[in-house]
Amino acid sequence: MRRALAVASTSPEDVPVGAIILGPDGTELAAAGNERELSGDPTGHAEILAIRRAAARIGEWRLAGCTLVVTLEPCTMCAGALVLARISTLVFGAWEPKTGAVGSLWDVVRDTRLNHRPDVYAGVLEAECATLMRDFFR
């Protein structure tokens, strides 16, 4: 999570969310911060970019055995993408009561109607991740 926090701090013009993807052996496959403002792309969320980069690096869209570590609870788009990418484990820091889709507003990743459900570890370094968000929106 500390690595994801460091990545989140690299884009001062966008909401500070950082995401990393670790391979089954713990090797970092990809890292990304939000790039919506930089790219003008509404799908430029840190999780989406990290998923794309990890898939490109391994040459496979299935990220089975991989772990996504992100500083903020994923939104519906990102939660859906991590399910579709078959990511095995999700670790996130701060809860997002307005748009969170891993328990706050919805729970996409645990929906039994879907064909894949990752293990979820929430609240990792929660205070530090939440502070990063609060400071940005002041």
**pTM for this entry:** 0.96
Q: What is the pLDDT of residue 10?
A: 82
Identified catalytic residue from 35, 47, 73, 96:
47
Catalytic residue status for 47? yes
Rounded alpha-carbon distances, angstroms, from residue 128 to 55, 66, 80 = 29, 24, 25
Residues belonging to the binding site for Zn(2+) are: 45, 75, 78
| Structural domains of the chain ordered from first start | 1-127 (3.40.140.10)
- What is the arithmetic mean of pLDDT over 66-76? 98
Residues belonging to the binding site are: 45, 75, 78
Neighbours of 3 (CB within 10 A): 14
Query: Mind listing the pLDDT tens digit for each residue in 10-41?
Result: 878 899 999 999 999 999 999 999 999 999 99
